[in-house]
């Protein structure tokens, strides 16, 4: 439970970390904070004194409290043997993320860097807390997978403050275009195109696509799905595109597939999925309806995760360069951190885009063989 004074303390720290209070800018007076939070002078003063002791603010006799310039204190702290890199991902304990993180750690540890991993659970507020930790703990660099990257960037102030403090960062899987950062990504649009084209070449015409729409990867994979229909001259039924969010990913796609397979006048013969995890969940519905893959319906995944070979159905999928992608992200952030120590920027440093490829297994076949 938060104490009253810690609420005031957290409020001031957050405003500093988001760049809303600049170095040497005056903090609200004790009287203003007392009125804002309806607290006693003693409680407000305790919060301010704590922030002074921690180096967040300083006092001027007779003038009030001011935001400290933490970039000055951080420069005196550079007597560190190892540099510290923060890694912020949406998830880190399942699916493809452990392999990606291992790739980063492999490269960075070989360079003598320490790595700390944070998870946002794809939650905007948790992302902000993670970014505040990066600032507060004075990390030397940051690798970050944006949270809900298809939506408006609500934490842009935190990112801009990280830039202002001179902390280099590289984005993974997706990036906020307005920040124009360095990034390491997979070409998701081409991946979605390859998925759809593959089943079209097997003569499927009723293809249903499931795409997560609060992460930019899902939007781009859907774009590739639509592009394949257009290039192949295959009419696309709008109802055959089903989108879902982080919060609805475990229920909504299953409900919609059940409807499509039981109530639709034209039953789909192929399914294109946002990722392999979704494939595993949808297979439960296919089994429930006593259908077989690929005899009755074909299905394509994305990521070539361990899940693609975990069930009795070995899934045709798009390869994701998990370990290699993590290694590449580590290499880029290493170069960015080292550039801070030289006067001329490295002109050869570029973002990294991996090309997708199809991994053929047994979950797809032509609809003729489904008869």
Would you kindly state where each structural domain of the chain is located, as residue ranges? 4-68, 82-180+323-354, 188-320+358-370
- How does DSSP assign 285-321, residue by residue? HHHHTT--TTTT-EEE-SB--GGGGTSSSPPBEEB--
Is 70 exceeded by the pLDDT of residue 344? Answer: no
Give just the sign of the alpha carbon dihedral 290, 293, 296, 297.
Answer: positive
Note the Cα 290 to chain centre separation in Å.
Answer: 36
Confidence of residue 166 (pLDDT cuts 50, 70, 90): very high
Spell out the residues 6+ positions from residue 205 whose beta carbon is closer than 8 angstroms to its own: 234, 269
Is 80 exceeded by the pLDDT of residue 75? Answer: no
Higher pLDDT, 266 or 171: 171
Is 70 exceeded by the pLDDT of residue 343? Answer: no
Q: Which two tokens stand for residue 188?
A: 């998701």
Question: Does the reported pTM lie above 0.75?
Answer: yes
Confidence of residue 71 (pLDDT cuts 50, 70, 90): low
Please give the pLDDT value at position 349.
87
Candidate from 33-47, 130-144, 230-244 with smallest mean pLDDT: 33-47
Same fold, 4-68 and 188-320+358-370: no
Please give the pLDDT value at position 78.
44
pLDDT digits (tens, 9 = 90+) for 273-326: 999 999 999 999 999 999 999 999 999 999 999 999 999 999 999 999 999 999
Mean of all residue pLDDT scores within the chain: 90
Please give the pLDDT value at position 14.
83
Spell out the residues 6+ positions from residue 96 whose beta carbon is closer than 8 angstroms to its own: 303, 305, 320, 322
Domain topology for 82-180+323-354? Rossmann fold (3.40.50)
Superfamily name with CATH number, domain 188-320+358-370: Response regulator (3.40.50.2300)
Candidate from 13-17, 108-112, 208-212, 214-218 with smallest mean pLDDT: 13-17
Rg of the chain in Å (alpha carbons): 25
Please give the pLDDT value at position 221.
98
Please give the pLDDT value at position 30.
83
**Contact of 180 with 154, CB cutoff 8 Å:** no
Domain 4-68, second-level architecture:
Orthogonal Bundle (1.10)
């Amino acid at each position: 439970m938060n104490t009253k004074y810690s609420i005031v303390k957290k409020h001031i720290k957050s405003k500093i970390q988001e760049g809303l209070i600049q170095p040497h800018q005056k903090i609200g007076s004790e009287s203003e904070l007392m009125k804002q939070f309806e607290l006693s002078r003693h409680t407000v003063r305790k919060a301010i004194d704590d922030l002074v002791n921690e180096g967040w603010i300083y006092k001027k006799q007779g003038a009030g409290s001011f935001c400290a310039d933490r970039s000055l204190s951080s420069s005196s702290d550079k007597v560190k043997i190892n540099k510290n890199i923060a890694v912020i991902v949406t998830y880190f304990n399942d699916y493809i993320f452990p392999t990606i993180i291992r790739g980063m750690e492999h490269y960075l540890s070989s360079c003598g860097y320490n790595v700390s991993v944070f998870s946002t659970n794809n939650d905007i507020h948790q992302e902000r807390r993670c970014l505040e930790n990066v600032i507060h703990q004075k990390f030397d660099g940051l690798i970050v997978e944006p949270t809900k990257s298809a939506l408006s960037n609500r934490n842009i102030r935190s990112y801009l403050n990280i830039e202002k403090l001179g902390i280099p960062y590289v984005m993974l899987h997706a990036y906020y275009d307005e920040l124009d950062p360095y990034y390491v990504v997979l070409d998701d649009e081409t991946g979605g195109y390859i998925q759809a084209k593959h089943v079209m070449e097997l003569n499927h015409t009723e293809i249903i696509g499931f795409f997560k729409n609060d992460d930019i990867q899902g939007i781009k994979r859907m774009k590739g799905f639509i592009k394949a229909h257009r290039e192949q001259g295959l009419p696309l039924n709008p109802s055959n595109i089903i989108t879902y969010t982080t919060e609805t990913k475990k229920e909504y796609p299953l409900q919609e597939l059940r409807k499509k397979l039981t109530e639709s006048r034209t039953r789909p013969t192929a399914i294109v999925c946002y990722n392999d995890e979704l494939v595993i969940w949808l297979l439960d519905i296919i089994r429930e309806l006593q259908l077989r893959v690929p005899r009755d319906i074909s299905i394509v995944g994305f990521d070539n995760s361990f899940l693609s070979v975990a069930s009795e159905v070995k899934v045709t999928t798009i390869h994701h360069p998990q370990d290699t992608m993590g290694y590449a992200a580590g290499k880029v952030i290493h170069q960015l951190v080292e550039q801070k120590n030289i006067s001329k920027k490295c002109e050869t440093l570029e973002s990294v885009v991996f090309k997708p490829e199809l991994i053929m297994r047994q979950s797809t076949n032509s609809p003729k063989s489904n008869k």
